[in-house]
Structures are given as C-alpha cells and as structure tokens.
Amino acid sequence: MAKRIQFSRHGGPEVLEYLDYQPAAPGPHEVRVQNQAIGLNFIDIYYRGGVYPPPALPSGLGTEGAGIVEAVGEGVSQFQVGDRVAYATGPLGAYSELHVLPASKLVKLPEAISFEQAAAVMLKGLTVQYLLRQTYALKGGETILFHAAAGGVGSFACQWAKALGVKLIGTVSSPEKAARAMEQGAWATIDYSHENVVQRVQELTDGQKCPVVYDGVGKDTWETSLDCVAPRGLLVSFGNASGAVTGVNLGILAQKGSLFVTRPSLAGYADTPERLQAMADELFAMITSGRLKVEISSRHALKDAAQAQTALAARQTTGSTILLP
C-alpha cells in the first residue's frame, strides 16, 4: 500500500483526499517510480476544479516529479531499478508515493541535479527550453517581450534569455514583481497596472517592436501582444491564464504586419523519448553551469497538498513549490 492525493469530485481544495491505495504493477513499457519530490503547478488546480477534465473520477493529481525507479514492466530497456529519473508530462497521479507511468515520459536525472530541483524545474524549465530554443530559436541580441515575467515560467525565461544575450522586456503587475523580474535577468519591465504596454515597447525598441512575443496569459493580452510584434514577427501564445483566445479573425494578422502566430505545447515538442531527453539535458546543463538557478520557496508534506494549492492560488508564493512524500 502507498499514500496518494485523489479527488472524486471537482471543487476547491477541500475535495482533495489523502488516502491509502494499491499502486498498480507496471505494465508493458511502463515504470513505477518511488517519488522523492513532486512538483506543484497551477494546471493541477485546473484539473481539480474541472477546467481540464481528468480521464475519469476518482482521479489522481499532478504530472511532475522526480524519484527512483522501483519496478519496470515488460519491454523497458532504457531504465532499470535504482535509476534516478524525473518527469513532467503526466499522466495524472504524481501526487503520490508511487507513480506508474510510461517509460517514454521519463528522463534520466544526473547526480548533479537533486530530486527537489528536478521536481521544481521540469515542467517550467522544459517549457522555457522549447519556447526560447525551438519555437523561436533565439540567437542573442534580440529584444523580446515576455508576459508575466515574475511568474514561475517567466522567472526561468528571464534567466535563460539573459544567458543567451537576449534583452527580455517583462510585463508585471506591481513594483515588487518588477524588482523580482529584474533580479532574475530581465532587461526591462513594464508594469501594466499603470503603464501602456504597447507604448512602452515602442519606446524601449526605438519603434521597432519585438521579433517575438511570448504570451502565456491568453485572452486579456491577445490584442496587446499583436501590437507589440514587429512586421513578419511571431506571437507565441502558449497559455491561457486569463481564458482562451477565441474568435480570431486571421485578417488581423495581415493588417498588423503579416504576422505569424503559433499555439505550442510542451507535449507537442517533447513528443519522442529522444527529444524529451535532449531537452532535459540542455535544461540540466543550464542548472549545473549556474546560469539557471532553481528557487524553491516552499516545501509541503504530500498530505498538505490542499494547503499548498491554496497558497499558490492566492499568489502567496514565489519561485517553485514542491510536495514531499
């Protein structure tokens, strides 16, 4: 028997249950991981609340963690019992002492990266890797716009952009968040609570605007983002924190300068074990070199997952939050 968090109905933190359960034996091409640390992400709250429906109820929760291979199923050759591993893309059920998942979702974790670091960085760090290194392959010298620069993904983006020699303009909602983004490596910030984002981007770029804009906010920033993209530039709409972008008239792309738009996802880039491991290897190298620092602001026992989610939803955290079995 093992412990896990599950929910049988959608709702607030009160629907999370800390229960005994019988972990399944790994099937063909599956691995069972003994979690040492578990990542906490806003998407977990969306699943709990029903914004993203799980495959079935009752359901486990969480898609990110790090631990030790405890058992392997038939046909698994790339991992063996005792290997240090990490994962970021599900399936649901990471909020548990033991988690069974496809071997294709795992990466090998080098000794230089701790389990806690891996659980704190995998989802956000791999997201920044594909955004800055693949969706628009930054070479250095560009001036870019990144929304929510003081958030979990944004903080890593600030650091990675600086390491690449890229000038990142980050949007924030307060002086405190502006200070945080600058500490993380942003070149400039725009406080959208009292500054006009488009006007400030024009000023900061001498009227040139940005070759690429990264927007994880969605509906509320869509028009603003388009107006910050340089002619023939790219808008990367990678999230919908304020709601999904709908009803788009493609003609607006022509009107605003023959713009490009993409809606990528981590799963769309880490779609083979080889690509996933290569992305993780670059992420781990950024950490071991000191160019990317992983800040763990709070640690909670697995049984206190509801309390941890409450703090995350209330924006009371900075850096990453992890759960410990």
**For residues 142-167, average pLDDT:** 96
Q: How high is the mean pLDDT of the chain?
A: 96
Q: Where are the domains of the chain?
A: 2-121+273-324, 140-263
Residue 132 burial (CB < 10 Å; 0-12/13-18/19+)? buried
pLDDT category of residue 113 using cuts at 50, 70 and 90: very high
* 140-263 placed in CATH 3.30.70.100: no
Q: What per-residue confidence (pLDDT) applies to 130?
A: 98
Interaxial angle between packed helices 115-130 and 273-288, expressed in degrees from 0 to 180 and rounded to the nearest 10: 110
Segments of 174-264 assigned E as strands: 188-191, 210-215, 229-237, 260-262
**For residues 119-133, average pLDDT:** 97
Residue 251 burial (CB < 10 Å; 0-12/13-18/19+)? exposed
Of 177-186, 191-200, 261-270, 308-317, the one with minimum mean pLDDT is: 308-317
Q: What per-residue confidence (pLDDT) applies to 282?
A: 98
Task: Give Cα 239 to chain centroid, integer Å.
Answer: 10
Residue 238 burial (CB < 10 Å; 0-12/13-18/19+)? buried
| Global pTM value | 0.95
Question: For residue 5, what is the enclosing H or E element?
Answer: strand 2-7
Residue 291 burial (CB < 10 Å; 0-12/13-18/19+)? middle
- Residue-wise pLDDT for 173-223, tens only, equals 999 999 999 999 999 999 999 999 999 999 999 999 999 999 999 889 999
Map tokens 């989802």 to a residue: 123
pLDDT category of residue 148 using cuts at 50, 70 and 90: very high
**For residues 264-273, average pLDDT:** 96
State percent of the chain over pLDDT 70: 100
134-171 as b/e, with b when 16 or more CB fall inside 10 Å? ebbebeeebbbbbbbbbbbbbbbbbbbbbbbebbbbbb
Q: What per-residue confidence (pLDDT) applies to 82?
A: 98
Take residue 81 and report the two structure tokens written for it: 């019992």
**For residues 6-32, average pLDDT:** 97
Contact 322, 39 (CB under 8 A): yes
C-alpha–C-alpha distance, residues 163 and 50, integer Å: 38
pLDDT at 314 over 90: no
pLDDT at 317 over 90: no
**For residues 76-91, average pLDDT:** 96
Q: Which CATH number is associated with domain 2-121+273-324?
A: 3.90.180.10
pLDDT category of residue 242 using cuts at 50, 70 and 90: confident
Mention every residue, 6+ apart, whose C-beta is less than 8 A from residue 149: 155, 157, 158, 168, 170, 171, 172, 177, 181, 184, 186, 189
Contact 168, 146 (CB under 8 A): yes
Take residue 260 and report the two structure tokens written for it: 């490009």
Q: What backbone torsions phi and psi does residue 155 show, to the nearest 5 degrees?
A: -65, -40
- Residue-wise pLDDT for 156-172, tens only, equals 999 999 999 999 999 99
Q: What per-residue confidence (pLDDT) applies to 319?
A: 80
Q: What per-residue confidence (pLDDT) applies to 313?
A: 86
Q: What per-residue confidence (pLDDT) applies to 227?
A: 98
Q: What per-residue confidence (pLDDT) applies to 318?
A: 73
C-alpha–C-alpha distance, residues 67 and 212, integer Å: 36
**For residues 25-31, average pLDDT:** 98
